[in-house]
């Protein structure tokens, strides 16, 4: 069976370096790394009293792992603005968190080598549980300063409305 329905000649899976992240209807500037989307479903073991010494197993509660977003430090304040909705230094009693809009749905888009949208995932009710504004600074290092957001969320699903793109052919 072909791995790709529209592009049956394609053999290679999609690469992990062409992607974008969207929230509030717009793309977030400079995201260079997105943590894995993963979930774990607990196993519930049970046994009827009359059963022999074997157990039965069934699915239990599902937990979704937090997602980390990384990007280089710039003047864009999107990460910090969102993180401050959960906790802001100097907030007065009763205004420590924005209960109205600290959660956001985000979309993670994966593109093929031609720059066409290939796959998208919707991540629901995300909120910032950790924020790193600056990394450790080192005068002897040769690196980019990276910001981190750790997002807790309530689940994700693949966006079924994103079809497999028809990949272009280039004449020589």
| CA gyration radius, the chain | 21
Say what the pTM is: 0.84
The distance from CA 148 to its chain's CA centroid, rounded to whole angstroms, is: 13
For a pLDDT cut of 70, what percent of the chain falls above it? 85
Q: Which residues of 28-49 are buried (b: 16+ CB within 10 A; e: fewer)?
A: beebeebeebeeeeeeeeeeee
Which stretches of the chain score pLDDT less than 70? 1-2, 4-11, 88-99, 170-172
The 3-state secondary structure of 74-85, one letter per residue: CCCCHHHHHHHH
pLDDT in tens, 7-47: 666 668 888 999 999 999 999 989 999 999 999 999 999 88
* Structural tokens at position 88: 């802001």
Coil, strand or helix: which one is 119? strand
The distance from CA 117 to its chain's CA centroid, rounded to whole angstroms, is: 16
């Amino acid at each position: 069976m072909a791995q790709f329905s529209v592009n049956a000649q394609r053999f290679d899976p999609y690469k992990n370096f062409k992607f974008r992240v969207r929230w509030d209807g717009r793309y977030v500037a400079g995201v260079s790394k997105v943590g894995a989307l993963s979930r774990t479903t607990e196993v519930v073991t049970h046994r009827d009293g009359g059963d022999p010494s074997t157990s039965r197993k069934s699915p239990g509660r599902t937990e979704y792992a937090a997602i980390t977003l990384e990007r280089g430090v710039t003047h864009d304040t999107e990460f910090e603005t969102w993180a401050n909705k959960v906790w802001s230094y100097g907030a007065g009693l009763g205004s420590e968190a924005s209960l109205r809009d600290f959660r956001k749905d985000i979309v993670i888009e994966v593109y093929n080598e031609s720059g066409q949208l290939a796959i998208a995932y919707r991540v629901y009710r995300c909120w910032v549980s950790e924020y790193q504004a600056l990394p450790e600074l080192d005068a002897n290092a040769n690196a980019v300063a990276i910001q981190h957001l750790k997002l807790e969320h309530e689940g994700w699903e693949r966006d079924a409305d994103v079809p497999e793109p028809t990949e272009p052919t280039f004449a020589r």
